[in-house]
Structure 1
Amino acid sequence: MNIQTSPTTHTTTKKSIGKTGVLIVNLGTPDSPNTPDVRKYLREFLMDGRVIDISYTSRWMLINLIIAPFRAPKSAKVYKELWTEAGSPLKTYGVAVEEMLQKALGNEYVVKLAMRYQSPSIENSLAELQQLGLSKITVIPFFPQYASASTGSVYEEVMRVLSQWQVMPELRFVNRFLDHPKFIEGFVQAGKKYLAERDYDHILFSYHGLPERQILKGDYTGKQCKLGSCCDTANRHNQFCYRAQCFETTRLLVKELGLEEGTYTTAFQSRLGKTPWIKPYTDDIIKELAGRGIKSVLAFSPSFVADCLETTIEIGDEYKELFEEQGGEHWQLVESLNDSKIWVETLVDLVKQEA
């Protein structure tokens, strides 16, 4: 017997069930480079228990009695060096990408930018999306490699906000994208521009650091992580290990750049406090390279998709100065993906890959 569909049967289409929201989230930036705004930003950022993972009381005393009062004025001076007429580069690029991605995705999507800390906040951006009757929300943290202190913190804040909604749309997170071909190609294109201009003695891949204890906490086996050779390959046991993901990112970039073994190094920057952070440290590697007679270095920062304090100032200026003090002659930072066409194409792929 043939069963025929009734003419009154309804078919569900994308148009009939609403649009898809896309929340793109970067770390955040002070509202201005003035000390009160920088202090406010530092307090919110560093009071996150996933960023400084110690007891609440100890964290509160450390941040509010030591770091915020004494570090904010110094950080404000550095932010003033970074600031442009348009404002913070990280936020400026974020706004530009928001507009470009909206145009690329079309009317079936609604793109909103948010910052994990400060403005526009995740809560406010989600509130705007809530009013649209969306059928689905895709959240893309702007962190190529997963870490509890970055991607994990975005997850937690998004879920905190959504837990207060009576009606929740379908929700999807992009966990990481370090191995997306266009993400890799974006940095390769930027790097090849400098490699075409001159020969470099060494290539440095500098990633943001994390305390070793946070890496060890993430080892679900309790015995896999050794903070060493276990990061030499990517496997199911270390797929969420931030250090292993950084080394994997380097391997992918090295392959596409055609670099020979011994001509590049992976290192970690921005450590804070006296507790051990993941190694090797970028500043130690810089001294070592200069001591070996290396005179020119091309530096990548593939844990950041937008230029910010850690790229423009720390790597571009402070590490350049350190390298030259040690006898180096030429230091060049490769810019982040920022608002490049290939970065927007990467995001389009990430949005649509499971559509």
Structure 2
Amino acid sequence: MEAKSDKGIILMNLGSPDSTAVPDVKRYLNEFLMDKRVIDYPYLFRLLLIKGIIVPRRAPKSAEAYQSIWWDEGSPLIVLTKQLQNAVQHDLAMPVEVSMRYGNPSQEEAFEKLLKQNPSLKEVILLPLYPHYAMSSYETAVEHAKAVHKKKGYAFKLNIVPPYYNEPDYINALAESMRPYVEQEYDHLLFSYHGVPERHIRKGDITGKHCMQVADCCHVDSPAHEFCYRHQVHITSELVAEKLKIPREKWSVTFQSRLGREEWLKPYTAATLEELPKKGVKRLLVACPAFVSDCLETLEEIAVEGKHSFISNGGDSFTMIPCMNVHPLWVQAVVKWMTALS
């Protein structure tokens, strides 16, 4: 459809280096890891830790990892997000742009593209491509967009879509994207979510007395759940497993991508992949619902490193279920939400 509207849409994802060259990866990691909502240490300590130790050591290894999954068209995350943009745009009259929390295209660039199409723009609907609320993902994306909006003094209203971890259209799209895989023979399904420090969960508890303090806190009603990543990923997993009729003993939840030595959400994906074959799990499926688009954390950390770990410890078959990417039901869900907000 031709995009003519006084409203616009921005699909906001995490981001990626501009290339696999070490300087580009280093630039990206500095921006990402210096974010106070990702590593929430005091600024000077964070500066010394990130720019003095972590990034110089991590950048060359990360560059190699990116090289192993990079597509001819560029970063898979960027390419897939733009494919989602095109698919959604096809069914909407409102213009649709893409922004990244880190790297390019920037939030300001996305705002300016919408304004160029319509200088009389009245409202921008921002859809963070993070289904779950976490300080280091959804929150930092939203707060960054708000900060750019305020700094530039834009006249248009910014309308932000809340987390949709339990929204029926999202659950349906996620489940149906997984269905062809769970209809095959397998022993176990692992829901592997990006991890966060346990400290972040406690810090985000608006009650100050619930998260990781109450027994089975994720299933005891509390206002804290609105901002609790741990609660939300468990709910997503339970709803998807229920929709796919997967017995409770045949699936579990783990957390990947741990950084540093402090305690992160458990159980850890890496350790679980080593242990499962010893428990008789020989055919494994892994889904990564924290991401709607495949990226380094799915294509390399899970599909390559995770598979190697599982197989080398006695597993027979390992299948990473792709993210929703541009699955028709996911595109339909986004179009439905945007239409309802327009």
The alignment's TM-score, normalised by the length of structure 2, stands at 0.94
Out of 147, 163, 169, which is 1:182 matched to?
A: 169
Decide which moves more: 38-47 or 280-289: 280-289
* Aligned partner letter, 1:86: E
TM-superposed deviation, 1:233: 5.2
| Structure 2 CA distance for aligned equivalents of residues 240 and 63 of structure 1 | 27
Conserved in 1, the CA contact under 8 Å of 2:177 and 2:327? no
Conserved in 2, the CA contact under 8 Å of 1:234 and 1:248? no
* Aligned partner letter, 2:245: G
> Residue 71 of structure 1 corresponds to which residue in structure 2?
58
TM-superposed deviation, 1:350: 2.2
* Aligned partner letter, 1:122: Q
| Structure 2 CA distance for aligned equivalents of residues 182 and 90 of structure 1 | 22
TM-superposed deviation, 1:158: 1.3
TM-superposed deviation, 1:181: 2.4
In structure 2, the CA distance between the partners of 1:114 and 1:167, relative to structure 1 (3 Å rule), is closer
* Aligned partner letter, 2:73: A
Give the secondary-structure state (helix, strand or coil) at the position aligned to 2:247. Answer: coil
| Structure 2 CA distance for aligned equivalents of residues 329 and 233 of structure 1 | 38
Q: How does 1:316-355 map to 2 (within 5 A)?
A: 316-355=303-342
Structure 2: give runs of 5+ residues left out of the alignment.
none
Out of 187, 205, 213, which is 2:191 matched to?
A: 205
| Structure 1 CA distance for aligned equivalents of residues 177 and 225 of structure 2 | 29
| Structure 1 CA distance for aligned equivalents of residues 303 and 321 of structure 2 | 9
TM-superposed deviation, 1:231: 1.3
| Structure 2 CA distance for aligned equivalents of residues 338 and 166 of structure 1 | 33
CA radius of gyration, larger in: 1
The answer to whether the aligner puts 1:148 opposite 2:126 as a matched pair is no
TM-superposed deviation, 1:349: 2.1
Q: How does 1:87-102 map to 2 (within 5 A)?
A: 87-102=74-89
* Aligned partner letter, 1:268: F
The answer to whether the aligner puts 1:39 opposite 2:26 as a matched pair is yes
Q: How does 1:265-276 map to 2 (within 5 A)?
A: 265-276=252-263
Decide which moves more: 176-185 or 201-210: 176-185
| Structure 1 CA distance for aligned equivalents of residues 220 and 303 of structure 2 | 30
Conserved in 2, the CA contact under 8 Å of 1:39 and 1:69? yes
TM-superposed deviation, 1:289: 1.6
Conserved in 2, the CA contact under 8 Å of 1:234 and 1:245? no
1:302-335, Cα deviation, whole Å (9 max, x unpaired): 0000011101111111111111111111110100
The answer to whether the aligner puts 1:315 opposite 2:267 as a matched pair is no
* Aligned partner letter, 1:214: H
> Residue 210 of structure 2 corresponds to which residue in structure 1?
224
Structure 1: give runs of 5+ residues left out of the alignment.
1-14
> Residue 264 of structure 2 corresponds to which residue in structure 1?
277
In structure 2, the CA distance between the partners of 1:190 and 1:55, relative to structure 1 (3 Å rule), is same
> Residue 274 of structure 2 corresponds to which residue in structure 1?
287
> Residue 160 of structure 2 corresponds to which residue in structure 1?
173
* Aligned partner letter, 1:248: I
RMSD: 1.6
1:75-114, Cα deviation, whole Å (9 max, x unpaired): 10110011011111100011111122112112xx111101
Out of 114, 118, 125, which is 1:129 matched to?
A: 114
TM-superposed deviation, 1:235: 4.7
Decide which moves more: 120-129 or 209-218: 120-129
The answer to whether the aligner puts 1:113 opposite 2:98 as a matched pair is yes
* Aligned partner letter, 1:331: F
In structure 2, the CA distance between the partners of 1:71 and 1:144, relative to structure 1 (3 Å rule), is same
> Residue 7 of structure 1 corresponds to which residue in structure 2?
none
Which structure is higher in helix share? 2
* Aligned partner letter, 2:263: P
TM-superposed deviation, 1:167: 4.6
| Structure 2 CA distance for aligned equivalents of residues 219 and 195 of structure 1 | 35
| Structure 2 CA distance for aligned equivalents of residues 125 and 199 of structure 1 | 44
In structure 2, the CA distance between the partners of 1:302 and 1:48, relative to structure 1 (3 Å rule), is same
Give aligned pairs, total.
Answer: 336
| Structure 2 CA distance for aligned equivalents of residues 210 and 162 of structure 1 | 27
In structure 2, the CA distance between the partners of 1:315 and 1:233, relative to structure 1 (3 Å rule), is farther
Give the secondary-structure state (helix, strand or coil) at the position aligned to 1:262. Answer: helix
1:37-65, Cα deviation, whole Å (9 max, x unpaired): 11010001111111110011011111111
Conserved in 2, the CA contact under 8 Å of 1:29 and 1:118? yes
Decide which moves more: 253-262 or 336-345: 336-345
The alignment's TM-score, normalised by the length of structure 1, stands at 0.91
TM-superposed deviation, 1:260: 0.9
Aligned sequence identity (%): 38
TM-superposed deviation, 1:130: 3.4
Give the secondary-structure state (helix, strand or coil) at the position aligned to 1:274. Answer: coil
Conserved in 2, the CA contact under 8 Å of 1:298 and 1:331? yes
